[in-house]
Amino acid sequence: MSILIKNVLLKDKIVSILIEGNSIKKIATNVGSSADKIIDGSDKAVFPSFFNAHTHAGMTLFRGFGDDLPLMEWLETKIWPYEKYINENDVYWGTRLACLEMIKSGTTFFNDMYWMFPAAAQAVEDSGIRAAIAAVFIDSFEQEKANEQRKQNQRLYAEMSKYSDRIMFCLGPHAPYTVSLHSLEWIRDFSIENEVIIHMHLSETENEVKEFVEKYGKRPFEFLDDLGFLSSKVIAVHTIWLSDKEMNIIAERGVNVVHNPTSNMKLGIGGDIFHYRELKERGVNVCLGTDGAGSNNNLDMLESMKFAALLQKFHYSDTTVLPVREAFDMGTVNCANAFGINAGIIEEGKLADLVLVDISKPKMTPRHDILSNLVYSSNGECVDTVICDGKVLMENRVVEGEEEIVSKANEVAFEFMERKDMLDG
C-alpha cells in the first residue's frame, strides 16, 4: 500500500510525500504521481503526529464526574469506589473513546496505565494507533497481592506476540506510596532482564514526598537510585517536587520525565511547578502528557503544549522559557525517542505517523509562523487528516465507526455507575 500526499506545506516549503508500507519513502517537490492513494495536500501543512506520554485512557468514562474536588476526596469518593465495578467491556469502549478523541486531535501514540490490559490492548488494535500499555501495579504492601500482580505481568508479557507491533508492553508500578519495596525490586529485575520500560507516577504532590521521606529516610529519586531502579527505561510521570540532587540523579541516569500541566493545574497540586528550566539545563529528556480525562478533562495534546509553555512563562516571569518549538518537541519527538519509536519528525525513513492540518482556518491565519499558529492559536480541531503506521485513520475529519464508539462509550459509562450504586449503595 502506498500513499502520495501532493503539494503539502512542510515547514516553509511545498513538497510531496510518498509513503510506502508503514514509512516515509520520499519527500521532494516532485515524487511522481503514482500511488494506491492520492491525498491533495493543498491548504494543508504536515506535522509529525502527537505523542501523549501519560494517560489513563479508560478514564474517559469518568470525564466530568467529580470535578473540582480535592485530589484525595476525588479519588476516594468518585474514582476508586466506582472503578471496582468496571469490567472488560467498559474498559474496551472507554479506551476506544480515548483513541477516537486522540485521532481526532492528531495523537497517534499514548503511554497508558490502567486496569484490564487485554481490553485496552484490543481497543488500541482496533483503533489503528500506537500505545505503550501498562497494567496498574498496586500491591498495597500486601504479599498476596504482590504475588498476583507479578503473575499477571508475567502472563501479559508472555502473551504480547498476539498483538501487532503497534502495541508495547510496559510495567506500571503506580507510585511509591502504593507499591512495596519488594515489588519495586522485582519490577527493576524484570525490566532489566526483558528490556521493558517502567511507567510510574513520581513526586506529584508535596505530601507524598514528605510521607516517603518519613518512611524511608530518603527522597524518592535518591531511594530509587540506591535501589538501582533508575535508567533510560524509566518514564517518570509528574516529577514536580524535586530537590537539586534528585534532578542531578535523573539527568545522570537518563530517566525520561513527563510533564502534565493541565492535570497539575486542575488538581491544584500547587506550591511548586514542573522545573522545566532546571531539568533542561541538565539535558533531561522531557515529554508531555494529558493525564487521564478524569483530571484534564480532554486528551488534546495541542492544548497541553500551550498550557505547558504558558505555565512556565508565568512561573519564572520569563517569556523566553519553553518556547513553542520545545513545547512541540515535548509532545512529539522527545516521547518517540523515550519509547524507541522511529517517528516524531517528518523525514525519509521515519515511520509514517503524521497529521495534515487545515491551514485555511481563521485561527491559522495569517501565516507568520505556522508552528506558533498550531500550538498557541489552534487546538486539536484543526487536524484534518491522520496517518499512523502508513494507514489513514482520519480523512477530512471523518473516522470510521465514530458514531458507534461515542454511543457505546456513553452507554457503558452510565451502566457501571448504576451497577455500583445498586450493589454498593
List residues binding Zn ion (CB under 5 A). Answer: 291
Phi, psi of 140 (to 5 degrees): 50, 30
DSSP string, 274-285: --HHHHHHTT--
- In the bound state with Zn ion, the residue whose beta carbon lies nearer, of 291 and 329, is 291
CA distance 12 to 329: 18
Cis status, amide bond into 220, omega within 30 of 0: no
CA distance 47 to 15: 13
Shortest CB 201 distance to Zn ion, Å: 6
Shortest CB 260 distance to Zn ion, Å: 7
Per DSSP, 388 falls in state E
- In the bound state with Zn ion, the residue whose beta carbon lies nearer, of 47 and 117, is 117
- For 21, the grid coordinates are 508500507
Shortest CB 61 distance to Zn ion, Å: 15
- For 171, the grid coordinates are 510495567
CA distance 45 to 394: 15
Give CA 396 to chain center in angstroms: 24
- For 409, the grid coordinates are 462509550
- In the bound state with Zn ion, the residue whose beta carbon lies nearer, of 46 and 113, is 113
- In the bound state with Zn ion, the residue whose beta carbon lies nearer, of 101 and 291, is 291
- In the bound state with Zn ion, the residue whose beta carbon lies nearer, of 48 and 292, is 292
- In the bound state with Zn ion, the residue whose beta carbon lies nearer, of 66 and 323, is 66
In contact, 99 and 133? CB cutoff 8 Å? no
- For 230, the grid coordinates are 533508575
> What residue type is 103 in one-letter code?
I
Q: Per DSSP, which regions of 167-302 are E strands?
A: 167-173, 197-202, 234-238, 256-259, 286-288
- In the bound state with Zn ion, the residue whose beta carbon lies nearer, of 236 and 375, is 236
